[in-house]
Amino acid sequence: MVHVRSGEVRRFLEATSELVPVGLEHLQLDLDHDLAELMRDAC
């Protein structure tokens, strides 16, 4: 079990939302490409 203070989690989430606004995540990363890279490396 992991214990984290809710204030710390809130600050982390606020900071990440400033860097990558909600709904715009797809502009920051390409999951299809990243998954293909992982699968290629696994073979």
Does 37 fall in a domain?
Answer: yes
Q: For every one of its 43 residues, what pLDDT tens digit does the chain have, with 9 covering 90 and above?
A: 888 999 999 999 999 999 998 899 888 889 899 999 999 977 6
Domain count, the chain: 1
| Range of the structural domain that residue 22 is part of | 6-42
Determine the pLDDT at residue 43: 66
Does 21 fall in a domain?
Answer: yes
The Cα–Cα gap between 16 and 31 comes to: 18
* Six token digits for residue 43: 């073979």
Determine the pLDDT at residue 2: 87
Does 35 fall in a domain?
Answer: yes
- Write down the pTM of the prediction: 0.53
Does 1 fall in a domain?
Answer: no
Largest CA distance in the chain: 42
